Amino acid sequence: MLESQDQDGLPLEGLRVLDFSQFLAGPSCALRLADLGADVIKVERPDVGDLCRGLVLADQSFEGDSALFHTINRRKRSFAADLKSPDDLARVKALIERSDVMIHNFRPGVMERIGLDAGTVLALNPRIVYAAVTGYGEEGPWKDKPGQDLLVQSLSGLAWLSGDAGAEGDGPPVPAGVSMIDVITGAHLVQGILAALLRRGVTGRGGRVDVSLLESALDLQFEPFTAFLNGDGTQPQRTAENHASVHGAAPYGIYRTRDGFMAVAMTPMDRLAELIGSQALADMAADRTVWFKDRDALKRQLQRDLLVQSSAHWLGILEPAGVWCAEVMSWPQLAAHPAFTTLGMTQTIRSAGGAAMQTTRCPIRIDGRRLYSERGAPRLGADTDAIAAELGLPGRAGTTSSHSSP
C-alpha cells in the first residue's frame, strides 16, 4: 500500500471549490473534495468565520479554534468576506466567476437576499456547479426549522429504530452517538457534485445540486422504511431484548458475555444452539417460524447462555464455524489492535504556526495510495490577500488588486 503526502496527480487537482458552508454537512463535503485534490477556498465572515470555530467538543481547542473545526476543514484556504458589503460581494462574485463548484448551507431564502442564489450564480458562471444543503428542503412547513443532526434523527424516525423496547414496549428512542446525518448528507452532496462535473465535461454546462438532511436521513433508512411503506402502516416494533434491528430475527443483536460484549448477526438459530451447546436454546429454535415471532424469548435464552463464558471463548468457537460475530470494542481496545494499526487511519495535521494534532485521514484510496495531508485548517482570512492576488480579484475599493496575476 502506497502512502504519500504528495497531492499531485489526485483526481480533482485543478478544481476550485468555494465553501460557504458552516458546521458539518457542507464542510464535510468540501473536505472530501479537498482530500481528493481540489483547491477548497472557505469563504468566511471577517468577524467570527465559520461558527464551528467556536464549537468546542471534549474541551479540545487547537490554536484558538475548536479541534472539531480543524478536523473537518483541514487542507482548505480561508477567504474573509462580508457578503453584506458591496465591495466584498463584488470580490466574491469575481471569485465565483473563476471557480468550478460553490457549496453553501444557508437556510432557504438567505442566498436570494444576498444575491448569490443559483440563478444569479449560474448567470455569472454557467460552468459552475452550485451545491446547496438545507435541513428539510426549500418548501414545506419545516423549511425554516434548524437543520441539526439530533433534530433530524428525531424528526425522521431514525431514533425510534434504536434502543430496547423495554418490558412494556415503552423504551425510549435512542439517537446515534455520532453526527451521522451530517456526514451522510455531505457524502450525498459529493456524489451529486461529481455527477454534475461529469456532465459538465460532456456538455460544458454546470448546474445545481441540492440535498437536505431530512432526505438523506430517509435514504439512510431505506431498508426498514421500504418495509414500512409496503406493510400495514404501523410502526415496526423493537425487541425488548438485545435490540439491533426492527426487522431482524433472532439472534441479531449485542450480548453481554462474562467479561464484555459481543455482536451476533444473521445465523441459523438451531446451528448457533448446537455450536454453543445449549439444549434449551435448541429446543426453542427447532421451529424456524419462531425465530422472528418469538425473538425476544430466544434472545433471552441466548443471553443466559453467553454470560457463562468470555467473549474470546465464544469467538473461538463461532468464528471458525463461519458465524458472523465480533467483539464489541472500546476505542482504546480498537486503537491497540493490529487490524486498526494496519489501516493507517490516523494522521497528524499541522497549523501554520507548527502546532500538531491527530485526526483521521481520508478513507478513500486512489491508485493504491492512502491520502494523507499535514495541512491543517486555515486561520480566519489567512489566505484572502493571496487568493485575491492569485486570481486578480477586484480590490475592496473597486480597483484591481495591485498584486494581480494575469
Catalytic residues: 182
**Rounded CA gap, 131 and 63, in Å?**
30
Q: Which amino acid is at 229?
A: L
**Rounded CA gap, 337 and 334, in Å?**
5
238 by DSSP, 3-state: which? coil
Give, in degrees to the nearest 5, the angle at Cα 225 between 221 and 227: 135
DSSP string, 264-287: E-S--HHHHHHHHT-HHHHHHHSS
Cell of 26: 457542507
Helix runs in 230-337, H state only? 269-276, 279-285, 290-293, 295-306, 311-318, 331-336
| Dihedral sign for Cα atoms in the order 144, 148, 149, 155 | negative
Count of other CB atoms within 10 angstroms of residue 294? 16
Residue 209: name the closest of 133, 117, 139, 98 by CA: 133
Give, in degrees to the nearest 5, the angle at Cα 376 between 373 and 381: 135
Q: Treating both helix axes as pointing N-terminal to C-terminal, what angle do 269-276 and 311-318 enclose, rounded to 10 degrees?
A: 120
